[in-house]
Amino acid sequence: MLSRCLVLLALVLAACAAHAEGSLFKVPTRDGVVTTLFWEAAPDAKATVFLFPGGGGGFGKFEDGKATGGNFLVRSAPYFLANGFNVAIFGRPNDMEELGWTERTESKHMTDVAKVLESVKQKSGLPVWIVGTSRGTVSATAMAINVPDPTIAGLVLTSSVVRYATPGAVPRQDLKAIKIPVLVYHHAKDACKHCQASEVPYILKGLINAPIKKLMVVDGGANPTGDVCAGQHWHGFIGMEKEAVHAISDWIDTPTN
């Protein structure tokens, strides 16, 4: 009897461990090209968040079932899971060392994005919310414009690239083509020259066909360090990750202007 109980306990623990780990996939996206995807399912998920990290893209190393990058969205993946969302993190194609400014709006990037979305849909048929941060908002916006798919429920832009001189900046893209709900979430103290809070309202002005559009400028967090355009500064909502994801999750649950 004791041995049977121990076996059952081991099975339960193994199942819990399985739920607590993500998986790494290499998705064929173009001829001879594969693009990495981090995937982790949430128990009883209500939707999937399709995350575009900033910088050169990617989600760091894949270790012990986790993505290790320090980007705001990557390190906040556990909070999205806790709020009931499957997490899909777009990585990088193997023919690029990084996703630069111009690459993020090009057709081959959109091809990669569409193929990875198809892979995500095979894992879950739930609605998909595109979420980008920093340079990832360039990709997220371009996806919302160029990858029409009925599973895409909405768009969330955090620490948006709004400096008009920057290639791919969100206000430079064809925002009138976006016809899904959009949340723009920004830190009031963001000091990155590409992402000044004062220029963020230009995104809302361009979203003339979005059925719902909301701007949240927030102030919080603690102990910013390093590059003002990196994930450990106000730009990356340092010290308020849980609060930020909770606010984003609440809005996704009930999108309002």
Which domains are seen in the chain, by residue range? 23-253 (3.40.50.1820)
> Stretch 1-16: mean pLDDT, rounded?
46
State residue 3's pLDDT score.
Answer: 52
Q: What is the mean pLDDT of residues 80-93?
A: 98
Mean pLDDT of 182-200: 98
Q: Has residue 110 got a pLDDT over 60?
A: yes
Q: How confident is the model at residue 24 (pLDDT cuts 50, 70, 90)?
A: very high
Is the per-residue pLDDT at 62 higher than 80? yes
Which pLDDT score, from 0 to 100, does residue 18 have?
A: 43
CA distances to 33, 37, 51 from 94, rounded to whole Å, are: 6, 12, 18
pLDDT at residue 8 in the model: 46
Specify the DSSP element, H or E, that contains 78. helix 77-82
Rounding to the nearest 10 degrees, give the CA dihedral for residues 251, 252, 254, 257.
60
Q: What average pLDDT does range 208-214 have in this prediction?
A: 98
DSSP-assigned states of every residue in 201-257: HHHHHH-TT-S-EEEEEE-------S-TTSTTSGGGTTT-HHHHHHHHHHHHHS---
Average pLDDT of the segment spanning 109-121: 98
Q: How far apart are CA 200 and CA 192, in angstroms?
A: 12
Does 19 score more than 70 pLDDT? no
Of residues 143 and 14, more confidence is placed in: 143
Question: At 53, is the pLDDT very low, low, confident or very high (cuts 50, 70, 90)?
Answer: very high
Mean pLDDT of 105-119: 98
Q: Whole-model pTM?
A: 0.92
Q: How far apart are CA 46 and CA 138, in angstroms?
A: 26
Neighbours of 256 (CB within 10 A): 9
Is residue 12 scored above 70 in pLDDT?
A: no
- Predicted confidence at residue 114, as pLDDT, reads 98
222-257 tens-digit pLDDT: 999 999 999 999 999 999 999 999 999 999 999 999
